[in-house]
Structure 1
Amino acid sequence: MSPERHWRLLTSVRRAISTDPSKVALTEAYPVLSETIVVKILDLALRIGESMFAVGASAHDVTFAITRVAQVYGLAGVQVDVTFNAIGVSYHRGEEDWPTTLLRVVRAASPDHAKLQRLQALLVDITEGMELTEARIAFRIIRRTPFLYRPIVVIFARALLTVGVALLFSASPLVILLTFVAALCAAFTQAGLARLQVPSFFSQIAGAFVITAFATITSAFGTAGITPFDHVQPSVIVASGIVLMLSGLTVVGAAQDAIDGFALTAGGRILDLTMQTVGVVLGILIGLELARLVGYSMALPDDALPFGPLPAQIAGAMIIAVAVALFNGAGMRIILVSAVLSVIAIIGYSFTILLDVHEGAASAVGALLASFIGILISRNLHVPSVAVTTAAIVPLVPGSAVFRGLLGLVDSDGTAEGMLVSISPLVLAASIGVGLAAGASLGLYLGTPLRVTLASVAKSRARVRR
């Protein structure tokens, strides 16, 4: 081989392995935008992201929304930082200019799925070419839109959720009525504390205490032989109340942020979720201990409360999903989709249980089916996937297992064996919670690329038809 051919071969091999820095252009093309326009674009993008984050969107969705709005209006390379309670954006036009940096603090995070739906629709309109001035006006209108329902509707919707939980266990009409009344008292208590700006941790304690006290009084009436309370199951009342207290927690959002790599945001959400759950536990324990001190106690159930027949499960799951969607401020379209997905989740769970699969794994399967189908249909129906997924998996929240574990701790004799027996339902509840979060997050990740593929195929067919 000649030296020239040998040199050419070495050059080809070198090019296949590495890049020659001298052959790469170091110039960058920047859009000619004034500092005022840059600030307006960043401000709009940041405020849209802040509003989405405050009403329940994940950190990944917020980051995507901010960068997408900035790119549409000519700002490429915007840096976004999302933490648990703050969002920052920065844009650097060139080495000779100071970077433009804005920061917004998310002061209150409360689900409002109707507003989230409007914000996502605005994002689509911006992507399709809405003018900057028009987009700013449209966003101000959305931001000032009040919550869809009045407070009394939210209170009754929360109480309605417990009716659905009682139906899951195929409870009697009297137990369903008592469950509704107990939840209504707890919801009014928490609404009053919220008006007084009491921290939600203490609000959770108060709500759980009210429900436990109501169930204890019902149990005392039954023990005394007073009809018709002698055949009432107080554990159904407390289990329904636990689902009510935990239904508003962002389990899916926390798991999704952790998987997306937003460790700080996920850590904050998980800590908040833990504190709210601890509040429920403390409220129930205080109620049970006070009842024991005055001479009243509830008997520990021998076995876990089983779900009723499949028609009762479907009816209960639909009521729960509708109630969750209502007190999260969802519109009619989100409510209907949530009800359908809850049926899918409970059917998937029930059929998996029939295969003698562990309850945690069965819960993961139900959540996976609901979130996977939800992410596929959310785009065409223009509903937020996180909204319908959250409402669909609430029927699987392990309220009964949590109550059995707490009641077992109160009644335990202090021995190691007694403690292990009482802790086992809590371990089961934790495994179900992990399964719900994992299944819902996995369904979102499996469905997202498929949804993008289906959307591109639909666009290609539309172009062919045109």
Structure 2
Amino acid sequence: MSDPRTRRARILRGDLPTEPMPMADLLRRTPYRHARIPHQAAGDPTIERGLDLTVRVGELMLRCGAGAPQVEGAMAATAAAAGVDKVDLDITLQSILLQARSSEGHRHTVVRVVRHTRYDYARIVAVHRLVQSLVAGEVTTEEVASRLREVERHPRNFPRWAVSAANAVLASAVAVVIGASPLAAVLTIGVVLVVAGIARLHARVELPEFYGNAINAYAATLLAGGLYAMGAADWISFGESDFAYVVAGGIVAMLPGRTMASAIEDVIFGYPLTGAGRLLAVFLSLTGLIIGIASGLGTMLTITEHSGADFVSPDVLDLRVTSAPIVPAILAALVVGLAAGVTVQSRRRLVVPMGVLTVVGVGVSALLTRVLDIGVVTGTGLAAVSIGVLGRLVAQRLDAPSMVLVVPASFGLLPGLTIFRGLYELVAEGSDSGLLTFQSGLSTLLSAGGVLLAIATGTVLGEFLAAPWDRHMRGSKRPRTDQVPL
């Protein structure tokens, strides 16, 4: 029988002392969670080489648009494979801090700053495969370091003009998803290309993104308004609903959907500082768009008021995504996914799976909202969950991180039309056209914000649910890194 004093001491004993987070915790629910972790600290040379390689992997992924959880998992796996047993890792929006102790008792610290982010999902895939091969023992740390230099120097998969064209096609396809006519879809391409030219002009003076977004949105709204004026004069077949669809498509093309998804994921998985920074960036970017669109609508309302012409029929405010024909919407969703893959500089062989996932997301959303009469926010969230689950499973099969498929595939769910309706209600408040009130406009914008949040949280939840099946979905034989082009 045990001594009562011993039992009392066990009950009153304090918790374990604070220590660096174990590698197993850093690798949990990542594609690298089966990496072998050293059982003891290595010497100074091994720790130095391991930390240098690890921080290079993290810097490249962060610079190419990866979220903090993906960067953390890849860095922890690299450090473990390079011989580091325990590591202190801190990732913020623009910096990486890495620290480990050697067997001699010396503490080694590496800091790397990432000033600019430029989305390049092909490089993220390349780094992901390098880390997988390193963890599997197929390559050495020296080979990974050499291959990283090749990945950094490799040209981007698509030239700038192709990205601009894909962005225009993306906006056009989104307009079709919500009900635009073929002519409106073609004119949307022209509007977005003109706005891209304007963006290149103010990019020469390195205008901050907030002001650039406002200028781009203002120009897009006025261009769409000019097309509507031509339609009102019977020069072209372009009605008030087409005007709404063109603006809505342009909104989706300019929305910071990638950053929004990364921000929510960072917050959910324990990176509140990084997530808060990304959310602030999303808020400023979205605010710039809202100011630009609202200013453009206000300018057009002022012009039409003085000219005595009718602007947009109140019926525009009754437009809903659920009113679009289902077959053209599904086909356009495929185009949205294909174009989104080009805009994020993805690998070419991953573009088609992105299109298929986009069709799945839009199809599930249409089924829930049209057939089952589920609310837009709930339906969009459940569609995002389906994208997250399938995206993670397909990504593992294709030896790619799930985010490179999930984020572009969610573009077809972005609420461009809802944002436009909310802004129009705000700007038109007080006019004599019988439109809804200012409070209704705020409510509509809040609904759009709810949809954005549902997309981000839904995709993250889907990836989380599918994580246990990573090993079962992974291909039986991965191609060697020296045989895989960027």
Common fold: TM-score over 0.5 = yes
Q: 1:422 to 1:248 in 2, by over 3 A?
A: closer
Secondary structure of 1:152's partner?
helix
Is 2:362 the partner of 1:346? Answer: yes
Q: 1:42 to 1:177 in 2, by over 3 A?
A: same
What stretches of structure 2 of length at least 5 have no aligned partner? Answer: 16-37, 306-310, 478-486
1:221-250, CA deviations, whole angstroms, 9 ceiling, x for partnerless residues? 233343434576201110001011115532
Same amino acid, percent of matched pairs:
27
Give the distance between the partners of 1:163 and 1:124, measured in 2 at CA: 38
The answer (yes or no) to whether the contact 2:172–2:246 under 8 Å persists in 1 is: no
Partner of 2:426: 409
Give the distance between the partners of 1:20 and 1:204, measured in 2 at CA: 54
Q: Quote the offset at 1:10 in angstroms.
A: 5.7
Choose the corresponding residue for 1:398, options 415, 423, 444: 415
Is 2:140 the partner of 1:124? Answer: no
Q: Quote the offset at 1:433 in angstroms.
A: 1.0
- Residue identity opposite 2:319 in structure 1: A
The answer (yes or no) to whether the contact 2:121–2:345 under 8 Å persists in 1 is: yes
- Residue identity opposite 2:421 in structure 1: R
Choose the corresponding residue for 1:314, options 321, 330, 354: 330
Give the distance between the partners of 1:177 and 1:407, measured in 2 at CA: 23
Secondary structure of 1:250's partner?
helix
Is 2:442 the partner of 1:430? Answer: no
Q: 1:234 to 1:456 in 2, by over 3 A?
A: closer
Give the distance between the partners of 1:275 and 1:447, measured in 2 at CA: 33
1:280-339, CA deviations, whole angstroms, 9 ceiling, x for partnerless residues? 101111211222333364444140233422221211111111111101101222201111
Partner of 1:303: 318
Secondary structure of 2:258's partner?
coil
Is 2:373 the partner of 1:369? Answer: no
The answer (yes or no) to whether the contact 1:333–1:383 under 8 Å persists in 2 is: no
Give the distance between the partners of 1:412 and 1:108, measured in 2 at CA: 40
The answer (yes or no) to whether the contact 1:89–1:101 under 8 Å persists in 2 is: yes
Secondary structure of 2:119's partner?
coil
Choose the corresponding residue for 1:273, options 282, 296, 299: 282
The answer (yes or no) to whether the contact 1:158–1:187 under 8 Å persists in 2 is: no
1:205-224, CA deviations, whole angstroms, 9 ceiling, x for partnerless residues? 12211210111112222333
Q: 1:338 to 1:37 in 2, by over 3 A?
A: same
Q: Quote the offset at 1:451 in angstroms.
A: 2.3
The answer (yes or no) to whether the contact 1:252–1:390 under 8 Å persists in 2 is: yes
Give the distance between the partners of 1:185 and 1:160, measured in 2 at CA: 13
Deviates more, 1:199-208 or 1:391-400: 199-208
Is 2:309 the partner of 1:293? Answer: no
Give the distance between the partners of 1:310 and 1:379, measured in 2 at CA: 31
The answer (yes or no) to whether the contact 1:42–1:89 under 8 Å persists in 2 is: yes
- Residue identity opposite 1:124 in structure 2: Q
Q: CA RMSD of the aligned region, Å? A: 2.7
Give the distance between the partners of 1:18 and 1:404, measured in 2 at CA: 61
Choose the corresponding residue for 1:262, options 250, 261, 271: 271
Greater radius of gyration (CA): 1
Give the distance between the partners of 1:98 and 1:270, measured in 2 at CA: 38
Choose the corresponding residue for 1:387, options 393, 404, 414: 404
- Residue identity opposite 1:433 in structure 2: L
Deviates more, 1:294-303 or 1:174-183: 294-303
Superposition pairs of residues 23-422 of structure 1, within 5 angstroms: 30-33=40-43, 35-93=44-102, 97-129=105-137, 130-229=139-238, 233-246=242-255, 248-295=257-304, 297-300=311-314, 301-307=316-322, 308-353=324-369, 354-413=371-430, 418-422=437-441
Give the distance between the partners of 1:223 and 1:379, measured in 2 at CA: 52
TM score, norm. by length of structure 2: 0.85
Give the distance between the partners of 1:223 and 1:144, measured in 2 at CA: 52
Partner of 1:464: none
The answer (yes or no) to whether the contact 1:155–1:188 under 8 Å persists in 2 is: no
Give the distance between the partners of 1:440 and 1:230, measured in 2 at CA: 36
Give the distance between the partners of 1:47 and 1:85, measured in 2 at CA: 14
- Residue identity opposite 1:265 in structure 2: T
The answer (yes or no) to whether the contact 2:399–2:475 under 8 Å persists in 1 is: no
Give the distance between the partners of 2:285 and 2:168, measured in 1 at CA: 19
The answer (yes or no) to whether the contact 1:59–1:257 under 8 Å persists in 2 is: yes
Q: Quote the offset at 1:171 in angstroms.
A: 2.1
Give the distance between the partners of 1:279 and 1:19, measured in 2 at CA: 55
Secondary structure of 1:249's partner?
helix
Secondary structure of 1:294's partner?
helix
Q: 1:455 to 1:276 in 2, by over 3 A?
A: same
1:56-80, CA deviations, whole angstroms, 9 ceiling, x for partnerless residues? 2221121121121111121111110
The answer (yes or no) to whether the contact 1:304–1:401 under 8 Å persists in 2 is: no
The answer (yes or no) to whether the contact 2:320–2:417 under 8 Å persists in 1 is: yes
